[in-house]
């Protein structure tokens, strides 16, 4: 699974050992996904605070009052894509500081860093809110999260992307669990319409507070929600820093955010070690000087510190 053994990611490996995640990584390697139990992910209070904050944001956007045991609607909220039984809240990193903390969750960071060779960058942080209904078409919305080349192919020698969902309500098949095709990450292409076969798909059932983590090449979607009430999650989609992010993140990072989160790790996760997107004055190297990874520094043919 490791793309480039030349990169020294010994600190990530130490984190994986101390968080006891090697077996989970071996599942990601074999099956394409893994479930980490709540006790390894975060405490109950963190889960409840995130859930309450998401409910508050969703209520403000929809104009509805939400109750976990009742179905809902998107109300005044228009952001696409949405269906008659699902909407998605976007750009949560900027919605509250609890999400800045979540981005640095040790389990999320260790697994994503491992898969992406210590070059993980946040692509998007969202919440899928579902209630009773089909949500996707018959093929359960099967897709891989990795951006394909034009012919649909995905990288086979390394990972460009990985995703994780923090389950804020229970995931059972009837509650609209994540649907996955185990081992499909090894096929290294996006699924086609006729790739969908009921027998290949399994639900990933997990209690609230669990983290489901998957390789960006894994074919996945979701089961229809057959029960009343809400299914709520928090997804943290990470890509290798050379890939264009889904959300515009680095330009929106404020000095207050950096004051609250002074680590290099935070700055790298939000893409500040990236000089692309420059204008006629050429690249601003400060991000790389301040936050660049050793690997990035090695690639320079001149010493950025002399600039």
Q: Which lies closer to ligand AKG via its Cβ, residue 21 or residue 178?
A: 178
With CB under 6 A as the contact rule, the residue among 113, 163, 172, 236 that binds ligand AKG is: 163
Please check whether residue 147 is in contact with residue 189, taking contact to mean a CB–CB distance below 8 angstroms. no
Candidate residues 95, 162, 222, 272; the one interacting with ligand AKG per rule CB under 6 A: 222
**Minimum distance from residue 125 beta carbon to ligand AKG (Å):** 11
Instruction: List strands edge to edge, sheet with 202-204.
Output: 202-204, 178-180, 220-222
The minimum distance between CB 307 and ligand AKG, in angstroms, equals 40
Our finding on whether 93 is near ligand AKG (CB under 6 A) is no
Total residues at interface with ligand AKG (CB under 6 A):
9
In three-state form (DSSP H/G/I as H, E/B as E, the rest C), the secondary structure along the chain is: CCCCCCCCCHHHHHHHHHCCCHHHHHHHHHHCEEEECHHHHCCHHHHHHHHHHHHHHHHHHHCCCCCCCCCCCCCCCCCCCCECCEEEECCHHHCCHHHHHHHCCHHHHHHHHHHCCCCEEEEEEEEEEECCECCCCCCCCCECCCCCCCCCECCCCCCCEEEEEEECCCECCCECCEEECCCHHHCCECCCHHHCCHHHCEEECECCCCEEEEECCCCEEECCECCCCCEEEEEEEEEECCCCCCCCCHHHCCHHHHHHCCCHHHHHHCCCCCCCCCECCECCCHHHHHHCCHHHHHCCCCCHHHC
Residues 113-172 that bind Fe ion (CB under 5 A): 145
145 makes contact with ligand AKG (CB under 6 A):
yes
List the single partner that 31 binds among ligand AKG, Fe ion, none, CB under 5 to 8 Å by kind.
Answer: none
If the CB atoms of residues 16 and 238 are measured against Fe ion, the closer one turns out to be 238
Closer residue to Fe ion, CB minimum distance, 145 or 205:
145
| Among ligand AKG, Fe ion, none, partner that 27 touches (CB below 5 to 8 angstroms by kind) | none
Q: Give the whole-angstrom CA distance, residue 41 versus residue 110.
A: 11
What is d(CA 233, CA 50) in angstroms, rounded to the nearest whole number?
9
Nearer to Fe ion, 108 or 288 (CB): 108
The listed partner (ligand AKG, Fe ion, none) that binds 235, CB under 5 to 8 Å by sort, is: ligand AKG
**Shortest reach from residue 135's CB to Fe ion, in Å:** 13
Contacts for 254 with CB less than 8 Å, ≥ 6 apart: none
Comparing CB distances to Fe ion, the nearer of 163 and 172 is: 163
Least distance to ligand AKG, CB of residue 86, Å = 7
* Binders of ligand AKG in range 172-211 (CB under 6 A): 178
| 128 binds ligand AKG, rule: CB under 6 A | yes
Q: Residue 222 binds which entry of Fe ion, ligand AKG, none, with Cβ cut-offs from 5 to 8 Å by kind?
A: ligand AKG
Which of 83, 235, 265, 275 touches ligand AKG by CB under 6 A?
235
Does position 217 interact with ligand AKG (CB under 6 A)? The reply is no
Positions in the binding site for ligand AKG (CB under 6 A): 128, 145, 163, 165, 178, 220-222, 235
Q: Which residues bind Fe ion (CB under 5 A)?
A: 145
């Amino acid at each position: 699974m490791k793309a480039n053994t030349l990169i020294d990611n010994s600190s990530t490996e130490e984190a994986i050992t101390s968080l006891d995640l090697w077996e989970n990584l071996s599942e990601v390697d074999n099956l394409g996904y893994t479930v980490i139990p709540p006790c390894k992910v975060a405490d109950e209070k963190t889960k409840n605070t995130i859930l309450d904050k998401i409910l508050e944001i969703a209520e403000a956007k929809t104009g509805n009052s939400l109750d976990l045991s009742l179905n809902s609607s998107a109300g005044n909220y228009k952001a696409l894509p949405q269906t008659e039984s699902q909407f998605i809240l976007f750009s949560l990193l900027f919605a509250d500081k609890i999400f800045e903390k979540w981005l640095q969750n040790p389990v999320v960071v260790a697994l994503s860093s491992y898969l992406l060779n210590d070059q993980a960058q946040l692509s998007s942080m969202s919440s899928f809110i579902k209630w009773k209904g089909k949500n996707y078409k018959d093929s359960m919305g099967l897709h891989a999260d990795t951006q394909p080349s034009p012919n649909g192919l995905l990288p086979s020698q390394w990972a460009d992307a990985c995703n994780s969902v923090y389950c804020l309500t229970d995931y059972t098949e009837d509650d609209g669990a994540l649907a996955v095709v185990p081992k499909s990450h090894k096929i290294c292409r996006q699924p086609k319409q006729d790739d969908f076969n009921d027998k290949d798909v399994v639900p990933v059932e997990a209690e609230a507070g669990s983290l489901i983590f998957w390789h960006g090449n894994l074919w996945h979607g979701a089961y229809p929600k057959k029960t009343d009430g809400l299914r709520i999650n928090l997804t943290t989609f990470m890509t290798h820093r050379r890939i264009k992010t889904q959300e515009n993140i680095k330009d929106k990072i404020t000095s207050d955010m950096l004051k609250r989160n002074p680590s290099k790790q935070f700055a790298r996760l939000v893409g500040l070690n990236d000089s692309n997107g420059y204008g006629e004055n050429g690249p601003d190297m400060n991000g790389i000087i301040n936050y660049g990874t050793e690997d990035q520094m090695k690639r320079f043919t001149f010493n950025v510190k002399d600039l």
